Amino acid sequence: MKVVGFVGSPREGGNTEILVGEMLKGASEEGAETEIFNLNKMDIKPCQACQHCKGNNGDCATDDDMQTIYKKIKEADAFVLGAPIYMWQMSAQAKLFTDRLYAFFMTGFEEKYGKKDVALVFSQGNPDEKMFEGYINSTRDMFNLLGYNVKEVLSSNGNQAPGEVKNKEEVLKKARESGKNLVS
């Protein structure tokens, strides 16, 4: 079993990276092979809406680091996407990644590579856990409609300072359990 984690935060060692890491730790404890990528360090261009992928079995015409990500997703059984919530939605880094998954939509991906299980992890500075609930739910629904199987959604609120989530043992425990559930 392989699980790949994608961190959609510009902050190295920040709350999002910590939560994705904990989720991967849980998956690893269940025997999964894990790998993590920081999307901010990768060269990922926006989708060009050229539709090349639709006529070429999901192969994207844009030659950038997303080609590596596509390969990793194809090889994986599941993946984790972590994103901070900035300006009422996922970060730009996570949005670029999400938009580029369009290449796999309705191109025979599921039939060829299987339906991938997904865990979504969100970190927010706002202390109100319900503040972005609608956005988080619509993101989950979008991934399900795109043909993925969202098994886990975790949101941690009130994370004002980088790394603050390290002091929230209950949230870290939930992240590890979510990682275990992703592979079971």
pLDDT-based confidence at 18, cuts 50/70/90?
very high
pTM score, whole prediction = 0.97
Q: Measure the CA–CA gap between 127 and 163, rounded to whole angstroms.
A: 15
Confidence (pLDDT) at 131: 95
Q: Mean pLDDT over all residues of the chain?
A: 97
Q: Measure the CA–CA gap between 79 and 2, rounded to whole angstroms.
A: 8
State the CATH number of the domain containing residue 157: 3.40.50.360
CA nearest to 28, candidates 6, 5, 10: 5
Mean pLDDT of 149-169: 96
> Could you tell me whether strands 149-156 and 78-86 are parallel, antiparallel, or unpaired per DSSP bridges?
unpaired
Q: Tens digits of per-residue pLDDT, 108-125?
A: 998 999 999 999 999 999
Q: Cα 162 from chain centroid?
A: 19
CA nearest to 168, candidates 133, 118, 129: 129
What total number of domains does the chain contain?
Answer: 1
Helix, strand, or coil (residue 58): coil
Look up the domain containing 89 and give its range: 2-183
Mean pLDDT of 93-112: 95
| Contact indicator for 72, 104 with CB cutoff of 8 Å | no
